[in-house]
């Protein structure tokens, strides 16, 4: 094996990682859901950009970007997504991976929103004509479709997007269409009220937004 710069560094254990970064708060540790709620559905329906992670037979992970008009990813039910494939470079890395290992990870972005929505599950590829027509764009059916069986859904905080200054200048109003004049955390709490109440206690009634904004201001780096 070729010697590289990585050889100069020593891996650490997960125990050491936890010693450095600590453990998540209860409401974060318990935030994963096994299905798409109404807010998660609306978030995905307005997302024009997302990334797809898959795992190949050679043991390597692959992450690919996907971009389409909002609404191109179809929500078939709270446990199922359908993702269109458009003409591209014909590498088909994701397709090759999921035909061997169906595990898939998705990260959805909405311009103007700091937070992202993550979906993990398993997937397969289909050429069902009716579905390809439903996933069509510009008068053309999708070339193929990826069906995702949802296993985990959860939002992730906006620190990465804030640090990147990713959405400065976007004018499409997609964030307002998703939040309906509210904000990510208010809608997340409303969708999972009982669990969030058990985890957050008095913060649900007030103070959560201040705590989040304070964290964004003072713990970004």
Which residues does 100 contact at the CB level (< 8 Å), separation at least 6? 56, 57
pLDDT tens, residue by residue, 68-117:
999 999 999 999 999 999 887 788 999 999 999 999 999 999 999 999 99
Backbone torsion region of residue 115, taken as left when φ is above 0, otherwise alpha when ψ lies between -120 and 50, otherwise beta: beta
| Beta strand extents in the chain (DSSP E only) | 49-55, 61-67, 74-77, 80-85, 103-109, 116-126, 144-156
> Which residue ranges form the domains of the chain, and what is each CATH number?
23-218 (2.30.110.10)
Task: Name the percent of the chain lying above pLDDT 70.
Answer: 93
Phi/psi at 124 (5° precision): -150, 165
Region 178-198: mean pLDDT is 78
Let me know: does 110 contact 43? Beta carbons within 8 Å. yes
Q: Does the structure show a pLDDT above 70 at 20?
A: yes
Let me know: does 42 contact 178? Beta carbons within 8 Å. yes
**Three-state secondary structure of 186-219:** HHHHHHCHHHHHHHHHHHCCCCHHHHHHHHHHHC
| pTM, rounded to two decimals | 0.87
Distances (CA, A) of 172 to 48, 73, 120, 187: 11, 18, 28, 21
Let me know: does 45 contact 69? Beta carbons within 8 Å. no
Residue positions counted in the chain: 221
Q: Considering all CA atoms of the chain, what is the largest pairwise distance in Å, rounded to the nearest integer?
A: 57
Question: What is the reported pLDDT for 145?
Answer: 97
pLDDT tens, residue by residue, 108-160:
999 999 999 999 999 999 999 999 999 999 899 999 999 999 999 999 999 99
């Amino acid at each position: 094996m070729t010697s590289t710069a990585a050889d100069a560094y020593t891996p650490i254990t997960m125990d050491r990682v936890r010693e450095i970064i600590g453990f998540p708060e209860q409401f974060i540790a318990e935030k994963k859901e096994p299905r798409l709620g109404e807010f998660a559905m609306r978030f995905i329906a307005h997302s024009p950009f997302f990334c797809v992670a898959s795992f190949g037979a050679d043991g390597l992970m692959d992450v690919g970007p996907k971009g389409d008009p909002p609404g191109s990813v179809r929500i078939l039910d709270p446990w199922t997504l359908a993702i269109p494939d458009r003409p591209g470079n014909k590498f088909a890395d994701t397709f090759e991976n999921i035909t061997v290992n169906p595990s898939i990870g998705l990260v959805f972005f909405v311009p103007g929103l700091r937070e992202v929505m993550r979906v993990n599950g398993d997937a397969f590829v289909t050429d069902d004509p009716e579905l390809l027509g439903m996933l069509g764009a510009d008068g053309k059916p999708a070339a193929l479709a990826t069906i995702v069986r949802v296993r985990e859904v959860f939002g992730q905080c906006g620190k990465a997007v804030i640090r990147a200054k990713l959405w400065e200048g976007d004018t499409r109003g997609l964030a307002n269409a998703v939040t309906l004049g509210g904000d990510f955390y208010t809608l997340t709490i409303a969708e999972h009220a009982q669990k969030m109440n058990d985890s957050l206690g008095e913060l649900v009634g007030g103070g959560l937004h201040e705590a989040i904004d304070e964290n964004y201001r003072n713990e970004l780096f």
